[in-house]
Amino acid sequence: MLDCQNLTYQLNRQSIIKNFSFSLNQGKHILIKGASGSGKTTLLCLLAGLIKASSGKIIYDKQEITTLTAAKLDKFRAKSLGFVFQNFHLIKYLTIKQNLALVGTMSGVKILDDEIQQYLTELGLAEKANELVDTLSIGQIQRLAVIRSVISKANWILCDEPTSALDDDNTNKLCSFLKIQAAKNNSSLIIVSHDNRVEKYFQNIQILTL
C-alpha cells in the first residue's frame, strides 16, 4: 500500500504542493489531473524520492521513504519503482534493446530477449529494436519510456504525462498496454496528466490544485 500523508513541498517560500494526501492499495490505479503548473511533476518526484518533501510522509508498504538515506533510496527505486519522465532519461547512444536490457542490470530482474521483443511489438517499435534512441521520434521515445517503466515488473509505476506526444490511436494502445501489464504483475499505476483522453482508463481520479 502507498500512503501519502499531508505532503507539502515549498520552493522559495512558495507552496508547490500543499497538504496533499491519498492512499492506494497494491494493484490499484490512480490518475492525478491538474492544469500546467499545478505541481503534477513535483508530486511524482516526491513520490519517487527524487526531491525531499518540506513536510508530510510517503509510505510504501510500511516503509517511509522520506527518512531513507540516499543509498537506500536508490536501492528502493531500482527494486520497487518504474518511472516515465517527461524528458524520458533514456541513453541516446544505446539502442532500444540495450536501454531495456539495462533495466534488468539495474533492478536485478532477468529480462529475456523474447520479452523485450513482445513489448516492442505491442507498441509498434519492433522494427526499431536495434536503432539508437537518438534516431527515434518523440512519440517513439515516449512509448519506449513506458516499456522501460514496466519491464522490471516493479510494484509501482509512476508516469508523468505519458501520452503528451501521441496521437489518439497510440494513446489508446499505450493506456491499454499499461493496464494489461499492471494487471499481469499486480503493479499499481500512478499517472499524472492533463490529457482528457486518459480519463476513460481510470475510475480513481484526483485533481491537484495549487
Q: Collect all residues with Cβ–Cβ distance below 8 Å to 43 and sequence separation of at least 6.
A: 7, 17, 20, 32, 192, 208
CATH code where residue 19 lies: 3.40.50.300
Range of the structural domain that residue 99 is part of? 2-207
Q: What are phi and psi of 123, to 5 degrees?
A: -110, 20
CA 164-6-63 angle, to 5 degrees, is 85
The Cα 151–Cα 107 span in angstroms is: 10
- Total domains in the fold of the chain: 1
pLDDT in tens, the chain (210 residues): 999 999 999 998 888 999 999 999 999 999 999 878 789 999 999 999 999 999 999 999 999 999 999 999 999 999 999 999 988 899 999 999 999 999 988 888 888 899 999 999 999 999 999 999 999 999 999 999 999 999 999 999 999 999 999 999 999 999 999 999 999 999 999 999 989 999 999 999 887 664
Q: Which three cell numbers stand for residue 34?
A: 491538474
Nearest to 22 by CA among 53, 43, 48: 43
Q: pLDDT by residue (tens digit) across 18-72?
A: 999 999 999 999 999 987 878 999 999 999 999 999 999 999 999 999 999 999 9
Q: How crowded is residue 164: how many other Cβ atoms within 10 Å of its Cβ?
A: 14
pLDDT for res 209: 63
State the sign of the Cα–Cα–Cα–Cα dihedral 27, 8, 32, 70: negative
Nearest to 79 by CA among 67, 94, 63, 93: 63
- How are strands ordered across the β-sheet holding 188-193? 81-84, 156-160, 188-193, 29-33, 205-207
